[in-house]
Amino acid sequence: MTNKTNRLYKTLMLAALIAAHFSCARSASTDSLKESFEDDFLIGTALNADQINEHDGATDSLIKEQFNAITAENIMKTEVIHPAWDKFDFDLADRFVAYGQKNNMYIVGHTLIWHSQLPPFVQAIKSVDSIRQFMDKHIHTVAERYAGSVDSWDVVNEALNEDGSWRESIFFQLLGEQYILDAFELAAKAAPEAELYYNDYNIEQPKKRAGAIKLVQKLQQAGLRIDGIGIQGHWNINDLPLIAIEESVVEYAKMGLKVAITELDLGVLPNPWNLQGADVNQQFEGNSRMNPYVKQLPDSVSTKLADAYEELFRLFLKHRDKISRVTFWGVNDGHSWLNDWPIPGRTNYPLLFDRCNRPKDAFHRIVDLKKEHSK
């Protein structure tokens, strides 16, 4: 390469870097979600490993500016934190808790007992005694380590099928319904100061809601503590179930439970084959029809997303006496799991901040809604 060519190459590279920087420059915002809704409910987000380690300064600044609650997206799940029978890995979980404490945030542990993302040694368990020993060891070790630090635990995650029946997980197969009682009893002993939640998707839908109500009643009748229920909130702008959500918030609150919206995102893409739920194990092959907005979201769809978020937060504000927290499942669109689920490689736009951490119309719409609500 000649000197002239080399200089030209460097100039072009510098221009490209400058263009990339300015194309992703954050627009200044005087509004903060956590401050806007501070009298109503906590505003949370899920953190991945890079965010816990503060690798991206712009994203880190956004998290601290906008959110006062954090949930461990994956690093407290069993396959990460308890990879072998006698081995625990607390490195990222410790960093997550330290991040929350340093920034005075409400800290959510996610999750103690879940049928998915289990390490091989749990999947291989065949006996009742062994699964009991695992649950005892896992919950006692993990929850007790963070007792007084983690404010809330999703004790059991996704124990129900869509019709409200029990999911045939390894825990249910070996212990039956008793595993739910055991999990909450163990969690209450290990972390007596933490709030204890049951967390699931689609439990705003009537049949699954009925199953969740029976699950809660079973715990309450056994004299066990359950403080709240987490409605995951993986919804779509083309089919937002507002009536069912409101009915569920009211019904769960009547049982003496706090209601948290725990994993909120609003998908904007076509729903493949009328898929229901948010089972991470479901995968489908894609095509261009299922990934229509590769480069950017059309204004018409962006407006529809903003409309949906405004309607949703109008409902949340109406029932702010019942709702303890609203947690978004990701910081910005680029961090969303919906980019790869249920079809790998799709480009989705389900959150309030774009891939450059810039607030979208949906952000401004709900902040303005709160300002109107406060007048």
Rounded Cα distance, 284 and 273, in Å = 10
The tokens for 337 are: 């799991």
Phi, psi of 106 (to 5 degrees): -75, 130
Q: Are 369 and 317 in contact (CB under 8 A)?
A: yes
HSE-up of 215 (CA within 13 Å, CB side)? Answer: 34
Q: How many residues does the chain have?
A: 375
3-state secondary structure of 129: helix
Rounded Cα distance, 9 and 301, in Å = 39
Torsion of the alpha carbons at 269, 336, 279 and 238, rounded to the nearest 10: -30
Rounded Cα distance, 244 and 205, in Å = 6
Rounded Cα distance, 150 and 41, in Å = 18
Q: Are 362 and 306 in contact (CB under 8 A)?
A: yes
Q: Are 130 and 93 in contact (CB under 8 A)?
A: no
Rounded Cα distance, 325 and 328, in Å = 10
Pairing of strands 258-267, 234-236: parallel
Rounded Cα distance, 180 and 120, in Å = 22
Beta strands in 81-130 (DSSP E): 106-114
Rounded Cα distance, 28 and 32, in Å = 11
- Give the catalytic positions in this structure: 158, 263
Nearest to 117 by CA among 81, 77, 90: 77
